[in-house]
A and B are shown apart, each in its own frame.
Chain A
Amino acid sequence: KQEVTQIPAALSVPEGENLVLNCSFTDSAIYNLQWFRQDPGKGLTSLLLIQSSQREQTSGRLNASLDKSSGRSTLYIAASQPGDSATYLCAVGGAGNMLTFGGGTRLMVKP
């Protein structure tokens, strides 16, 4: 059974810092890995999708990497802004497009 862990559970940083969120998974037989953002009281919004054959994906200030063999992914946020404050969720995609989520990292970016 796939298990996904995210570290740290919470993070508070001053505006402008570069930061890294970590995700680890136990079963390397994955189809893809996604990073989602969740704002309080809202649903999830997909940020980046990395296919199992890929090593990284970039979108604006966000960069996600995937190392399938070691069961790790990182989400790098450059020059953080208060608007980046949210919960970031890592989800591993398995057969049948089943997603297994980590517990999330709650990010607070202080002005």
Chain B
Amino acid sequence: EAGVAQSPRYKIIEKRQSVAFWCNPISGHATLYWYQQILGQGPKLLIQFQNNGVVDDSQLPKDRFSAERLKGVDSTLKIQPAKLEDSAVYLCASSSLQARNTIYFGEGSWLTVV
């Protein structure tokens, strides 16, 4: 079974530039999560989708972050414009409706804003 795929793995951009990260969850998983993990901290949930609907985006900085999951499969997280404090690993995860508590994480997309 293929895992959660994320790209790009690494990205360096200047502040005020934009960046987009892509995630393809495990096939059949209805729920998709984006987490932000700043170095030395635990992951923080940014947004949770169930199919193509948003379940929770209360911690998503909506003035600069956006995310979509148009067809209920893969998802894109965008940051525009980026700030220095956005430097972090962006982790995508997915779970099935039948086994909600079993969450599979991708390896993350590492962002450095300079």
Interface positions of A (Cβ within 8 A of B): 4, 6, 32, 34, 41-46, 49, 89, 91, 93, 96-104
Number of interface residues of B (CB under 8 A): 22
Q: Which chain A positions have C-beta within 8 A of B56?
A: 96, 98
Pairs A–B under 8 Å by Cβ, sample size 15: A42-B108, A43-B93, A44-B93, A45-B105, A46-B102, A49-B101, A89-B42, A96-B48, A96-B56, A97-B48, A97-B100, A99-B43, A99-B45, A103-B40, A103-B42
Query: Known pairs A100-B45, A101-B44. 12 more at Cβ < 8 A?
Result: A4-B42, A34-B101, A42-B108, A44-B93, A44-B105, A45-B105, A46-B103, A96-B56, A97-B100, A98-B56, A101-B42, A101-B43
B102, B103, B106, B107: the one within 8 Å of A41 (CB)? B107
Query: In B61-114, which residues have CB < 8 Å from any A CB?
Result: 91, 93, 95, 100-103, 105-108
Q: Which chain A positions have C-beta within 8 A of B100?
A: 97
Q: How far is the CA of A43 from the CA of B40 in the complex (A)?
A: 14
Contact across chains for A104 and B108 when beta carbons are under 8 A apart: no
Whether B12 is near chain A, meaning CB under 8 Å from some CB there, is no
Contact across chains for A43 and B4 when beta carbons are under 8 A apart: yes
Bitwise, B33-48 to A at CB < 8 A (1) or not (0) is 0000000111111001
Q: How far is the CA of A43 from the CA of B42 in the complex (A)?
A: 12
Contact across chains for B105 and A97 when beta carbons are under 8 A apart: no
Bitwise, B3-35 to A at CB < 8 A (1) or not (0) is 010000000000000000000000000010000
A45 to chain B, nearest CB (A): 7
Contact across chains for A32 and B105 when beta carbons are under 8 A apart: no
With A34-B101, A44-B91, A49-B101 already in contact, the answer to whether A97 and B107 are too (CB < 8 A) is no
A109 to chain B, nearest CB (A): 20
B13 to chain A, nearest CB (A): 20
Contact across chains for B42 and A102 when beta carbons are under 8 A apart: yes
Q: Which chain A positions have C-beta within 8 A of B4?
A: 43
A104 to chain B, nearest CB (A): 5
Q: Which chain B positions have C-beta within 8 A of A89?
A: 42-43
